[in-house]
Structure 1
Amino acid sequence: MANLANFTAGELANVGSQLTNDASKYINNPDLELKWAMKSYHHAETYFNLISSVDPTALKLTQIDDEIYTEFRKEFPDLKIDVIQEEDLKSPEAKEKWRPFINSFEKKVEDFNYGTLLRLDCTKDYTEENSILVVRLQFLAIEIARNREGYNSSLRFNKKDNSEQKT
């Protein structure tokens, strides 16, 4: 996150003037969207390789995994995390419930609200059908819970079984 002290007064004034412009004049930058998509996919690929290679129950995703997990299970005790239903994350009711949880980590988790890919079914890899865009804190809460509760453990054994069958 950028520190405002690193910007000159002129740079801050320029940013401020841009914020008062008509939002309809802004267009999506395809290059920026492509870079974001590539970064998100790389993150997903790296994470899947990691949980497929090591014991996910011992994996730490942040320095505050314990706090994220405790608060997640306090706020969402009955959320089924092995196979996520999109409406549990994106319905208007779900968004109202998720928003305070996510925002409570704003100062604690860097890039807490960045778009991140989440697997809907934790037994499967990232595919177009098995992926949904969520904010990073939702990804962390669900994946920390999946790791701690053993839902991701079968991936490691499946990868071992598949590699042994190829030899």
Structure 2
Amino acid sequence: MIRRLTAIASEDVGNADPRALPLAMAAWDAYLRLGDYEGQRAIAHAAIHLAVAPKSNAIDQAWKRAKQFVAAQPRLEVPTYLRNAPTQLMESLGHGEGYRYAHNEPNGYPAGSQHDCWPDDVPFERFFEPSEYGQEKRFQQMQAWRASLDDAADRGEG
């Protein structure tokens, strides 16, 4: 039962309530540590939370779209600026050059299409489309905010 509840937390609740998956994992752990009799309450705790939590399958849909995208383009290269440069050779090849560390950027976000972590010569595609439910509504707002920062940076305003 707890294995299925854990799957439900990710597949059916998803990011509408990001606490669902850690709660299910904690219930599973509690069951294993407490034994059957007392551990059943932890499973009930998770089951009730999952039953009343907002639902979204946006994670599952995004995962499927991303897998299809990668399967259709199996030879994508990691952008050079995202490649690690632990050796002088790699550094001389330009690995890591132009990388912008998010924590050093205004708003904690390296805005602009020049730093979108997307392979060159591949049109950008968004895989995760948050629902209107629970925490995903906030994710929609965050995506819109970042898109506005990207647009401003691309216009030279950032």
Q: TM-score, normalised by structure 2?
A: 0.26
Would you tell me which structure has more strand in proportion to its own residues?
A: 1
Larger radius of gyration: 2
If asked which structure has higher relative contact order (CA below 8 Å, sep 6+), I would say 1
